[in-house]
Amino acid sequence: MEKTLEKKQLIKKSEDFSKWYVDVILKSGLADYAPVKGCQVFRPYGFAIWENIQRVLDEKIKKAGVKNAYFPLFIPEKFLKKEKEHVKGFSPELAVVTIGGGKKLKEKLVVRPTSETVIYEMYKKWIKSWRDLPLLINQWCNVVRWEKRSRLFLRTTEFLWQEAHTVHETHEEAIEEVMRALKMYVDFYRDFLAIDGIFGKKSESEKFPGAEKTYTYEMLMPDGKALQGCTSHDLGQNFAKPFGIRFVGRDGKEKIPWQTCWGFSTRSIGALIMVHGDDSGLIIPPKIAPIQIIIIPIFQGKPSDRILEKKVKTLKSILKDFKVKVDFRQEYSVGWKFNEWELKGVPLRIEIGQKEVKENKATLVRRDNGEKYSVPLVALVSETKKTLDSIQKNLLEKSSKYLKENTREVFDYKEFQDIMKRNRGFLKVFWCEDPKCEEKIKAETKATNRVLPLNALKEKGKCIYCGKKATHRWIFAQAY
C-alpha cells in the first residue's frame, strides 16, 4: 500500500499527553513546523478554525462599536522605551530589523510584539477634542515575540491575534470597556469553544507591563496546568501621559484620557485541542468546526453505485445549512476514512450505504461519545441540529466538570506542594498580596498566581505561605 493510504497511528492522549498534543496537530493537518525556528505554519484546516473564531469575534467587536484598522509591523526602537514597564517587559523577546534596502538602518526597527506604542503615537495626533472620544479601534494582525522554547499554537515566535485599543474621557468609561471585553471573551470561550474557566484580575506581578490592572480568563488543561485565554487591560493614564495624548474636555480644559487594550490570539486553538481531544484525535465543537458533518458513502464493493451517489447528493442538499463535506474518494477504504475524520475531530459523521438507501435512513455517529443511531431522512435536519447542539453542550459540560473537580480549596502549604507534585489543577488559596510570597511559591512549586476570581468575596484568612493576614482567595496553578 502507498504510504499516504496507510492509517495514521496516533499517540494516545491517555498515555502521553504532551506527545499526543504535537502528534494530533501534525497528523490532523492543523499546523506544521515552519522552517524558521520557533514559528509554525497554519495549514488550511487549522486556519479555517481561526477564520471561524475571527468571524464570530469580529462581529461581536464591531457590534460594540469598535472599528478595525491596521497599524505598521515595524516600531522604531525609541517608541518602545517611552513607557518604562512596557519596554522592560518586552525587551528580551524582540526581533529587530537592522538592515533595510541593503543598508544598515540608522534607527533599528522592532517587529511589533504588541502595538501600544506605535498606535498611541498615532492617537496623539488624532485625538484633539472630547468629540474624538471614545476612540475604539481594533486590529487583526501578526505579532512576534522571540521564544526560546516554542510549542505549536501555545508559544510560537510569530502568532496571530486581535488587539483592540480604546481611549475614553473618564476612567469609569474605560473600566466599563475593560469589563465588556472580558465578558465578550468569557462568553466566547464558553459558548463557542466550549471551554469553562475562571475569570478575574491578575496580581500586580503577573499583569501586563504598563497596565494599571489586567483581567483574564484562566482555563485548566487536562494535565492540570493553566492556560491564560485572553487579556483585557485597564491602562489608566500610564501610556497617555508619556505619549502626550491630550484632549480638550467638554469644559474647554485640556485633559489626559484613559485607555484600555484587550487581545485574543491563536493560542486559543491550543486550548481547544488539549481540552476536547481524545485518543482518536481532535474533537472540534460544532459551532467553530470547519466541517460539522462528514458524510461517508459506504459503497460495499461497488465503487460506482449511481443510486447511492444520488442519495448522498440529496443528503448534502438537505443539510445545506450545515458545514458538510462528502468524502467520495474511492482510493481510500471506509475504515481509513472513519479514522481520518475522527482524527480531524469532525463532530458528526453520517454513514449511508445500501441498507440506509433501502430504508430511507441515515446513520449518525457522534464524535464526542461514539453514540450511533439511525435517523429517517424526513427527520434528518432536526435530528442533526439537535445532535450538534447536544455535542456542543456536552463538551462544555465535560469541561465544567473537569474544572470543578480540579479546583481545590487548600489552606495548608504542605498540601499545596503535594498537589503540585501530583495532579496539579487550580488551587484556591488565601494570599497576603505580598509579591515575595508569590515568588517563593513559584520557586518552590512552579505554581504561579493565575487570577483573583471577579466574584471573590472579602474574607478573613491567613496567607498560605507566610500566614499573615489575607483578605481574598486567589487561584494558583502551574501554567503554560
Interacting residue ranges for its own copies, rule: CB under 8 A: 2-4, 32, 34-36, 39-44, 46-48, 50-51, 67-76, 79, 91-102, 108-109, 111, 118, 121-122, 125-126, 128-129, 131-132, 137, 141-142, 144, 146-148, 157-158, 160, 248, 331
Cα separation of 232 and 61, whole Å?
13
Question: Smallest distance from the beta carbon of 368 to its own copies, in angstroms?
Answer: 26
User: Which CB atom, from 94 or from 447, has the smaller least distance to its own copies?
Assistant: 94
Burial class (CB in 10 A: 0-12, 13-18, 19+), 269: buried
Question: Smallest distance from the beta carbon of 244 to its own copies, in angstroms?
Answer: 13
Question: Smallest distance from the beta carbon of 141 to its own copies, in angstroms?
Answer: 7
Question: Smallest distance from the beta carbon of 26 to its own copies, in angstroms?
Answer: 11
How many Cα atoms are found within 13 Å in the side-chain-facing hemisphere of 429? 30
User: Which CB atom, from 123 or from 430, has the smaller least distance to its own copies?
Assistant: 123
Question: Which residues make Cβ contacts (< 8 Å) with residue 248, sequence separation at least 6?
Answer: 128, 129, 130, 254, 255
Question: Smallest distance from the beta carbon of 411 to its own copies, in angstroms?
Answer: 41
Three-point CA angle 143, 447, 445, nearest 5°: 135
Contact 210, 235 (CB under 8 A): yes
User: Which CB atom, from 144 or from 470, has the smaller least distance to its own copies?
Assistant: 144
Contact 233, 202 (CB under 8 A): no
Which ranges in 344-421 belong to alpha helices (H)? 354-359, 380-405, 413-421
Locate 340 and state its grid cell. 481520518
User: Which CB atom, from 344 or from 361, has the smaller least distance to its own copies?
Assistant: 344
Question: Smallest distance from the beta carbon of 255 to its own copies, in angstroms?
Answer: 15
**Bridge partners, residue 31, by sequence:** 42
Locate 187 and state its grid cell. 462568553
User: Which CB atom, from 67 or from 401, has the smaller least distance to its own copies?
Assistant: 67
User: Which CB atom, from 17 or from 336, has the smaller least distance to its own copies?
Assistant: 336
Question: Smallest distance from the beta carbon of 92 to its own copies, in angstroms?
Answer: 6
Residue type for 285, please?
P
Contact 380, 373 (CB under 8 A): no
User: Which CB atom, from 101 or from 303, has the smaller least distance to its own copies?
Assistant: 101
Residue spans of beta strands (DSSP E) within 101-257: 103-111, 135-144, 158-168, 197-201, 213-220, 226-236, 247-248, 254-255
User: Which CB atom, from 49 or from 396, has the smaller least distance to its own copies?
Assistant: 49
Question: Smallest distance from the beta carbon of 377 to its own copies, in angstroms?
Answer: 28
